[in-house]
Amino acid sequence: MTTLIEIRDLSKVYQRGKQKVEVLHHIDLDVEQGDFLALMGPSGSGKTTLLNLIGGLDAPSGGRIGVGGQRLDQMSAGELAKWRASQVGFVFQFYNLMPMLSAQKNVELPLLLTKLSAAERKKRAGIALQLVGLADRASHKPTELSGGQQQRVSIARAIVSDPTLLVCDEPTGDLDRESAGEVLSLLGMLNREHGKTIVMVTHDPKAAERARHILHLDKGQLVEQVPA
């Protein structure tokens, strides 16, 4: 197996007034390409901070982090933005869809940063919506969709640029059990059948059970890694 994410001695410190708060303490972690990893732990344990570092949304205070052989800790903000656009798909708890745009146009949004034609963007968005089972909802706006359907649109948006890595922050946290199961099944399919590497933060043990591995964080430190 190829290591996709390599983290060594990773620390993150935030400055709050005169106080320094160390959120992550000297984390070491390897994630193989094609893995599905769940990050669990109590509130304030550093899960989302670690996820944001892996996704290039934040920069570490110390240590190194590499994804696909590229050192994120050595990139400028502009370089990180370009890297995120081509390599990472993001799925958030509250969908982050544009309310005035159709599902199709929401899914196309990441492609506006590329040189693709309008016709090619529309085609790729259509393929992504078909993959998540919502081809028949392409013209619907978010308010015309259920919570589970909105999250599936956000997953289509995350995969439309064919990223290497999906980072998911509580993707089922706002859904009922049935919708959550559908979203988790979709993520599992993307992992198994399309080879997407997934790192998912969750509070839900049932959601974590869908992953291949479960990682526990507590007070900014890696506690244990458990096979799912």
Asked, for residue 25, whether it belongs to a domain, the answer is: no
Residues in contact with 181: Cβ distance below 8 Å, sequence separation at least 6, in sequence order: none
> For the segment 161-197, what is each residue's pLDDT rounded down to a tens digit?
888 899 999 988 877 888 888 889 989 988 998 889 9
The mean pLDDT value for 129-148 works out to 90
Asked, for residue 68, whether it belongs to a domain, the answer is: no
Asked, for residue 214, whether it belongs to a domain, the answer is: yes
Single-letter amino acid code for the residue at 160: V
The reported pTM is: 0.89
Which of 88, 17, 28 is closest to 52 using CA atoms?
Answer: 88
Alpha-carbon span 106 to 142, nearest angstrom: 9
> For the segment 3-39, what is each residue's pLDDT rounded down to a tens digit?
899 999 999 888 888 888 888 888 899 999 999 999 9
Asked, for residue 78, whether it belongs to a domain, the answer is: no
Q: Do 168 and 141 meet the contact criterion of CB atoms below 8 Å apart? A: no
Asked, for residue 76, whether it belongs to a domain, the answer is: no
Percent helix, strand, coil in the chain, to 5, is 40, 30, 30
Write down the pLDDT at residue 151. 86
Give the domain CATH number at 98. Answer: 3.40.50.300
In terms of residue numbers, what domain contains 134? 36-56+84-227
